[in-house]
Chains A and B, each alone.
Chain A
Amino acid sequence: MTREALALVVAVLALWQGLALAHLLPPYLTSPAVVLGELLRLTRSGELLLHSAVSLYRSAAGFALGAGLGVGLGLLAGVWRRLGDAVEPLVALTYPVPKVAFLPILLVWFGISDTSKILLIALSTVFPCYIAAFYGVRAVDPLWVWAAQNMGAGRGRVFLRVLLPGAAVHIFSGLRVALALAFILMVASELIGSSNRLGLGFLILSADAGGRFDLMFAAILVIAVLGFAADRLLLAVRRRLLAGSVLLEEAHRG
């Protein structure tokens, strides 16, 4: 955060608050102070924790399932050429499809449950992870593999010590896209099919129905903070695991 950016944020918030205090804003632009008050109330009553926990559970479970499956399959397809070639047309055909479209089908199969939401999230995260892992393995310099083989590394060792670290940078960029998707689809599935009255998306819907704009902004803010925090967490993990290539990348960027 630069000083300029901070100043811009503070200026916008101050202007917003000032205009609200002067009654110059329409009621749906609730002032930041009121939103903050609502946020405090939600936290105290425990509602916030409940809805956040449910939403986080859905996105985390879907992300774990989709990312695990996607990275696993991608690595396998990257190593095992025939599998990769066989799956490639199916991926090319299904990858450009907006996965939300499958929500009504999943809702019929699994009901308005966490299962259908988790599966939808998994379905949409599996693709970027698969593609990233697949191309990550394929992009590893064959020289490295030959060098390792030459020094007596077996198949398992080549995979664990050469291919996996070599593909890791790609895998993490896939995971990052998938994580963002997991949050988008979490919100989407809660906006479209949530009738079990839980989740931050539902909180927005109910606030919308009740004309409670303070509640709505509070829920939006929480979703934003959670999405941001999850992204930072992934980046921190990446920094730990891939310290070398991350530093190199930052050095390049200057």
Chain B
Amino acid sequence: MARTGGGAVAVRPDAGVAAGWRRWRPGVAAVAARLLPVAVALLAWEAVARSGMVNPRLFPPLGAIAAHLWALLHDPQLGRHLGASFTRIVAGFGLAVAVGVPLGMVLSSVPPVSRAVEPLLALTYPVPRLALYPILVFLLGIGHLSKVTLVALECLYPIVISTADGLRHVDRLYLWSAQNMGAGRWRLFWRVQVPAAAPQVFAGFRIALPVAFIITVLTEMVSATEGLGWLILYASASLVQARTFAAVALVALIGFLMDRALAALRHRLIVWERETVLVAMR
């Protein structure tokens, strides 16, 4: 996303409230400028909902959605659903990392394995693996296991590919200078290649984590007994559209917060490289 905000602002040393405000003003203005389109969109929604052109039961006004959202947030069951979904996201993503990073390492450093496995990865990459879900449910049951497996399977691709790619495209100068200083193969790999590839590996994680969230919600909507996806379907089964909207809004909010948290984490962890735009799968 494009970075907003005024950039550097000179602050005079005779500080105080005024100077403080001067320093913050561009930031506040930027936030206001970003909120304005959102406010316009919400107002437009409210106008349509109240216009009488649409059935308010099908196209509920914001107040009704907010009320249902409020009730949803105070539902004692919510914790259980959040817990189930997050367990699946974390376990699936963690499994993909635990398998994918070592696999990427092997692919980048053992050519015969790479020649056998990489064409298969490329071949199966555009295949919607979700189609396997019903069989996973049959094999592993309707609980965590089937969902975690599919999440891990989906997350595996970006992680393996970016790990192998990152390790392969380490600047040769680094390798040469390390070799020159007497680093062996092992040292070269762990002390030069791995740190140099870290931003790439993280880029893979950044693509994979939202995928984990999406696939979790998806599988929970196909078949589950708890979780955020199930919550949406349960709300829609009540035939109260405002309640469905509230559940969707909750999932949207979580998705948005996760994205922001990940962006902030990247900003802190990998300070030496500007963020590239990721057209990730969402």
Residues of chain A at the chain B interface (Cβ within 8 Å): 1-5, 7-9, 28, 84-105, 107-109, 124, 127-128, 131-132, 135, 173-174, 177, 179-181, 183-184, 186-188, 191-192, 200-201, 204-205, 207-208, 213, 216-217, 219-220, 223-224, 227-228, 230-231
Contacts and interface: CB of A to CB of B under 8 A. Distances in A.
Given A107-B236, A223-B131, A177 B279 contact: yes
A191 to B, nearest CB: 5
Contact of B217 (A87, A88, A101): A101
A108 B262 CA distance: 33
Contact of A90 (B37, B123, B281): B37
Contacts of A105: 236, 241, 244-245, 248
B221 A100 contact: yes
A87 B280 CA distance: 19
A99 B282 contact: yes
A88 B2 contact: yes
Nearest to B228: A101
- Scoring A87, A127, A184, A231 by chain B CB atoms within 10 A of each residue's CB, the highest score goes to A184
A180 B281 contact: yes
Contacts of B248: 101-102, 104-105
A109 B125 CA distance: 33
B75 to A, nearest CB: 18
B126 interface: yes
Interface string B233-244: 101100001001
Interface of B: 1-2, 4, 33-38, 41, 58, 112, 115-120, 123-128, 130-135, 137-139, 210, 213-214, 217-218, 221-222, 229, 232-233, 235-236, 241, 244-245, 247-248, 251-252, 255-256, 258-259, 277, 279-282
Contact of A124 (B123, B255, B256, B282): B282
Given A2-B115, A100-B217, A101-B232, A188 B245 contact: no
Contacts of A104: 232-233, 235-236, 244, 248
Nearest to B241: A108
Contact of A183 (B126, B222, B280, B282): B126
A4 B134 contact: no
13 contacts: A89-B37, A93-B252, A93-B256, A95-B259, A96-B259, A174-B279, A180-B281, A183-B126, A186-B128, A187-B128, A187-B130, A191-B134, A223-B127
A179 B115 contact: no
| 4 tightest A-B CB contacts, nearest first | A104-B236, A231-B126, A96-B259, A4-B116
Contacts of A217: 135
Contact of B1 (A88, A103, A184): A88
Contact of B116 (A2, A93, A109, A205): A2
A56 to B, nearest CB: 13
Contact of A98 (B4, B124, B213): B213
Contacts of B214: 98, 100
A244 B280 CA distance: 25
Q: Which of A1, A98, A100, A228 has the most chain B CB atoms inside 10 A of its CB?
A: A98
A204 B134 contact: yes
A181 B112 CA distance: 32
A217 B134 CA distance: 11
Given A4-B112, A90-B38, A183 B117 contact: no
B279 A128 contact: yes
Contacts of B217: 98, 100-101
Nearest to B154: A184
Contacts of A230: 126
Contact of B222 (A7, A96, A107, A192): A192
